[in-house]
Amino acid sequence: MKIILLKLLLKVKYSKIVSSFVMKINDAERNYHLKNNSYVHPIIELTTSTENKIKLVKKVASQIYGETWNYYSDALRDEVSKNFEDSIKELKNQKLTEIKYLEIGSAQGMSMSLNGLLLNEYFNKIDLTSLDPYFENGYFEGEECISKDLQHITINKSTKEKAFNLYKSLNLNVELIEKTSFEGLIDLINNGKKFNYIYIDGFHENFVPMQDLSLCLQLLEPNGIILLDDHQSWEDVGFLKYICDKNMDKISESWKIIAYKSRN
């Protein structure tokens, strides 16, 4: 009962705040995009190097997954890739030589692949960690999405094998923590791990996004960068933007991802 009441209080408290997050895209257009992956963002300028890496990941992923290479992802869209590019450039400006990257919810491996290639270009040493349970039968989510469409997400053990074939083909060494985000993040904290760059794209509903952000902040290095995925599409992610806007420095933002740098 206490959990239900807290959930209701949070929804009431942040309902007006969440509605103010939405960029100037009307509901019909946004819902259409969610179902068809066809929303066209204004022209985005990427470096030639980033564009080439996107093409490479798409090519290899298409060979592995076929037409479903972009399933439940959109990580290689220009406006999303720009968020990654901006974040990594900010890290480069810090004159770091080694980067530790943590990704919650790697799924088919699109975002891990692109980030891994971009980080390899700018830093002498990179450490890539994927935290994803890869449930045997996938999972369900969608009731709290703006589309209110419960879906069976078929990210499973077979997906894991293909994702790691993708990494191998791109010469990326990725460590997998095959646990839920709560279990994996607690283990990382207890083991004293720290990361410069964290991308949160796990389960989008209920207290999980808040839990993931809270735990990831404990893992973030000073001046580290953290990215929230789907901050416009999911209410339980959206209200976290209000907290981060007040307490962190915004680096980059699109309809899908928002990137922040810590102030400590």
Distance CA 68, CA 82 (A): 23
Is position 83 within any domain? yes
Q: Which residue segment(s) compose the domain that 201 sits in?
A: 2-37+47-261
- Which sign does the torsion angle of CA 127, 183, 251, 237 carry? positive
Q: What is the per-residue pLDDT across 8-61, written as a single tens digit (0 to 9) for each?
A: 444 444 444 444 444 434 444 455 454 455 555 567 899 999 999 999 999 999
Q: What pTM value is reported for the model?
A: 0.86
Least Cα distance to 147 among 10, 32, 19 occurs for 32
Residue 12 confidence (pLDDT): 41
Distance CA 27, CA 145 (A): 12
Compute, in degrees rounded to 10, the torsion defined by CA atoms 200, 132, 139, 214: -40
Distance CA 94, CA 221 (A): 12
Q: What is the per-residue pLDDT across 178-205, written as a single tens digit (0 to 9) for each?
A: 999 999 999 999 999 999 999 999 998 8
In the structure, what pLDDT confidence band is assigned to residue 6 with cuts at 50, 70 and 90? very low
Is position 197 within any domain? yes
Q: Which tokens hold the place of 114?
A: 């692109």
Q: Higher model confidence: residue 236 or residue 160?
A: 160
For residue 160, which amino acid is it?
Answer: K
Residue 72 confidence (pLDDT): 92
How large is the C-alpha radius of gyration of the chain? 18
Q: What is the CATH number of the domain that holds 23?
A: 3.40.50.150
Contact predicate 251/260, CB 8 Å: yes
Share of the chain above pLDDT 90, in %: 73
Is position 42 within any domain? no
Contact predicate 231/260, CB 8 Å: no
Q: What is the per-residue pLDDT across 70-90, written as a single tens digit (0 to 9) for each?
A: 999 999 999 999 999 999 999
The count of structural domains within the chain is 1
CA angle 42–258–133, rounded 5-degree value: 120
